[in-house]
Amino acid sequence: MPSSLPQFFNDLIFMKMIDSVVAALILFLGALFINLIFSRRYDTKKHRAKFRSRVIYVAICLFALIILKIWIQGLEHFFTMLSIVAAGLVVTNKETIMNFVGWLIINWRGVFAEGDYIKIEDLSGYVHTIGPLFFKIYEADEIGIRQTTGKSIKIPNGLIITKPIITYSPDTNLCRYKTECLIPYESDLNLIKDLFAKAISEVLHDCYKEDRTYCHKYIKDHNKELAKLIDLVPKVRAEPAGDGEKGIKITVIFFCYPINHRDIEQEFWEKIFSLQKSQKLHLLGDSLPCVPTNKSI
C-alpha cells in the first residue's frame, strides 16, 4: 500500500497534465478558428488586430479558469480567499486597480490603438505604447501632420474611465474639415461658389478614385448611423465677413482622411491660386493671407 501511494500521485499529476495540454490545445484551435472566420468582417489591419487581441484575452481567461479547476481542489474556498484579498487591494491600491481596469477597457473595447491620435484633457498626440498601468503618447498639436513636438507623455490608464477622450485613427476615420478665404462684395458669387466646388471635388476625386472606402455605400454597409451624419459631397458656403473684415467669406467644407488632409488642401489652394492668376476670381489678401486657414470640426 505505501509503495502504491507515490504511483497514485504520479498518475494523478500525469492525468492533470494531460487534461491541461488537451484544454490548451482545444482553446488554441478554437481561438484560431474564431479569428480566421470572424476577422474577415474587418477591412483594416488595425481592426483585425483589435479583434485578435480580444480573442486572445478571452482564451487566456478561460484557460486560467480551466487550469484552476483541474489543479486546485476546493475552488469555492479559493475564490472566497481571492475576493477578500481583492477587496483589500482595492482599498489600499485604488489608483493601481483603476489603471489596470483602464488597460482592460482600452484593449477589450478598442478605445484606441497604437498609432491613433487622441485628445484627453489638455493633452494630445499619437499613441506609442499601451501598458498595464500607463500608456505613452508622442505629443502632437494637430492630426494628419504626423510630426511630434519632441515630447513623450506617460498617462495613467485610469483617466479614460473618468475623463472624456477624443480618438482618431489617422488611416481609417473620416474627419470634417473646412478652409476659408475672403472675396470682394462685387464678386460674382454664384460663379465663385461653382469654381470652388469644382476645384475641391476634382481634388477629392483624384485622391480617392481608387479607394473603395471613400464612398457612401461603404460607410452605410459598416455603420448605418454614421452614414446618416456624413455627406461626402463637399459644400461651399458664403456669408458676410465679421470682426471688422470687409468682403464675403467663402467656406469650403469637405470630408477626408486625416492622413490626406494636408495634401488635399494644398492641391485645392493651388487650383484656386491658378484661377486667381487667370483673373477668374480675386481673393482679399489684406484681410486674410493667401494661405489656407484650416480647422478640423
Mean pLDDT confidence for 93-117:
83
Q: Which amino acid is at 157?
A: N
> Could you give the C-alpha distances from 46 to 50, 51, 136, in angstroms and in order?
6, 9, 18
The rounded percent of the chain whose pLDDT value lies above 70 is 79
Residue located via cell numbers 473646412: 178
**Does position 268 have pLDDT exceeding 70, yes or no?**
yes
pLDDT band, very low/low/confident/very high, at 155 (cuts 50, 70, 90): very high
- Tell me the pTM: 0.62
In the 8-state DSSP scheme, what is residue 227?
H
Q: Which cell is 293 given?
A: 486657414
Q: State the average pLDDT over residues 78-89.
A: 70
- For the beta carbon of residue 291, count every other beta carbon within 10 angstroms: 13
> Residue 263's CB: how many other CB atoms inside 10 A?
13
Give the integer Cα–Cα distance in Å for 196 and 274: 12
- Edge-to-edge, what's the strand order for the sheet holding 152-156? 152-156, 134-139, 123-130, 117-120, 165-168
Q: Which residue has the cell 489600499?
A: 92
pLDDT of residue 78: 61
For the segment 49-72, the average pLDDT, to the nearest whole number, is 78
Whole-number average pLDDT of the chain: 79
| 19 Cβ neighbours under 8 A, 6+ residues apart | 70
Q: What is the largest CA-CA distance in the chain?
A: 110
More confident residue, 221 or 206: 206
- CATH for 175-296, among 3.30.70.100, 1.10.1520.10, 3.30.870.10, 3.40.50.80? 3.30.70.100
Rounded Cα distance between 220 and 49, Å, is 23
Q: Is the confidence at residue 43, as pLDDT, over 70?
A: no
**pLDDT (0 to 100) of residue 199:** 93
Q: Answer whether residue 90 shows pLDDT above 80.
A: no
pLDDT value at 219 more than 80: yes
What does the pLDDT read at residue 104?
84
Dump the DSSP string for 141-155. SSTTS----S-EEEE
Q: Are the C-beta atoms of 279 and 191 separated by less than 8 Å? A: no
Class of 109-168 per CATH?
mainly beta
Compute the distance between CA of residue 116 and CA of residue 138 in angstroms, rounded to an integer.
11
Q: Is the pLDDT of residue 184 over 70?
A: yes
Tell me the mean pLDDT in the region 248-263: 89
Contact (Cβ atoms closer than 8 angstroms) between residue 292 and residue 185: no
pLDDT recorded at residue 174: 85
* Mean pLDDT along residues 210-223: 85
Strand partners, 237: 251
Helix pair angle (258-277, 189-208), 10° resolution: 140
pLDDT of the residue at 76: 59
